[in-house]
Amino acid sequence: MEKTPLVCDYGSGFSKVGFSGTQAPQAVFPTILGKMKHTNVLEGLGEQDWFIGAETQTNRTELNMYYPISRGAITNWDNVEKIWHYSFYHSLQIAPEQHPILITEAPLTSKEAKSRMTQAQGQGMICTSQRPLRSGNSISTHHGADPIRNLQLPRPVHS
């Protein structure tokens, strides 16, 4: 039986991940990581060193914050891999190697970055697509076939 493809859009501000064919992503979270400034500062956290997405907001004052994507380009590969792991195993609770994956990318992504992304995702079936352009509350790409044509995205909340 064929597994449902995953659609992932990792942006500078928010990451959106879900299954192909659905009306909305299953998870939308800030593309941010936090690492404890000091070990064992907060009682009850045990050995958790990294906080990802909304988890960073609870303990923000005790964390060094990291933004692994800037202006659509990956700036820290180790940290973006933590974001990927979080999106697959925590947000979607799936094994990514069992699903084809479509990841959006910025239009001017270098060949080296594309190659590194494919290698980092392992031997699984992966396809990259240029990041879609927003039109109202839906998104569409400016190239031929659109694998996420009907995907409705929530508007980000700005402070």
Report the pLDDT value the prediction gives residue 117, as an integer from 0 to 100. 82
Convert the pLDDT of each residue in 112-124 to its tens digit: 888 888 887 764 4
User: Regarding beta strands 73-74 and 69-70, do their DSSP bridges make them parallel or antiparallel, or are they unpaired?
Assistant: antiparallel
C-alpha triplet 73, 132, 2: angle, nearest 5°:
100
Domains of the chain in start order, with CATH, are 1-29+72-78+94-159 (3.30.420.40)
Cβ proximity of 8 and 81 under 8 Å: no
Q: Output the pTM of the full model.
A: 0.72
- How far is the CA of 150 from the CAs of 22, 35, 54, in angstroms? 8, 36, 26
Residue 89 CA, chain-centre distance (Å), reads 12
Side chain identity at residue 14, one-letter code: F
For the residues 120-141, what does the mean pLDDT come to? 51
Convert the pLDDT of each residue in 33-91 to its tens digit: 999 887 655 555 555 778 999 999 988 898 999 999 998 899 999 999 999 999 999 99
Given a cut of 80, is residue 127 above it in pLDDT?
no
Cβ proximity of 5 and 14 under 8 Å: no
Report the pLDDT value the prediction gives residue 118, as an integer from 0 to 100. 80
